[in-house]
Structure 1
């Protein structure tokens, strides 16, 4: 009986010694993020005909 307890304690000690470890550390090199982004835009302006005539006559176009 005492022998079983000693064996179980020794086995528990061995199992605790083999527990996995996790290390959290920053990477040695910086993290690079490459973004290839193409932005297309289109602007549409609608002007009233009367206002369009005024703008064309004044030379603001």
Structure 2
């Protein structure tokens, strides 16, 4: 009985020693995320002849 108890304790200690070790630590420098985003928008107005003549007749409308 004593031998099985000792052998089972030895196996538990051996299994505990083989377990993985996880180490989590914060970085020394702050994390920087650079988002260089260039947004370009092009708006094109196409006026038909009627709208062009209306603008020419009333130049102060806008």
Output the TM-score relative to the length of structure 1: 0.58
Deviations 1:8-44 (A, max 9, x none): 3212123214422324455454321112222222101
Q: Which runs of 5+ in 1 are unaligned?
A: none
Q: Secondary structure at the match of 2:16?
A: helix
Q: Which runs of 5+ in 2 are unaligned?
A: none
Alignment length, in residue pairs? 61
**Structure 1 vs Structure 2 CA RMSD:** 2.8
